[in-house]
Amino acid sequence: MTRRFTAADVLAMDFPVEVPTLSGSMLKIDKTTAGDLLVGGQKVVKADMMASNGIIHGIDGVITENL
């Protein structure tokens, strides 16, 4: 089952946490000491953009999966 996370959902978590991706790997979510959210090591710059297939969170980089 796919889970969708809003910014409020994420901020209520105890950091760091790992969430599953669609490919089955785990993605780390953390928060910096300055309060910035990091997803896969990339800073979230815009949260909670609703799309037809879920919720999008804009980040300032690219997340790659080690194959």
CA 50/CA 66 separation, integer angstroms: 28
Tell me the pLDDT tens digit for each residue of 25-42.
Answer: 898 999 999 988 999 999
C-beta separation of 58 from 50 below 8 A: no
Computed over every residue of the chain, the mean pLDDT equals 87
Give the phi and the psi of residue 26 in degrees, each rounded to 5: -110, 145
Reported pTM: 0.78
Contact between 17 and 28 (Cβ < 8 Å): yes
pLDDT for residue 56 is more than 80: yes
Homologous superfamily of 7-59 in CATH?
A: FAS1 domain (2.30.180.10)
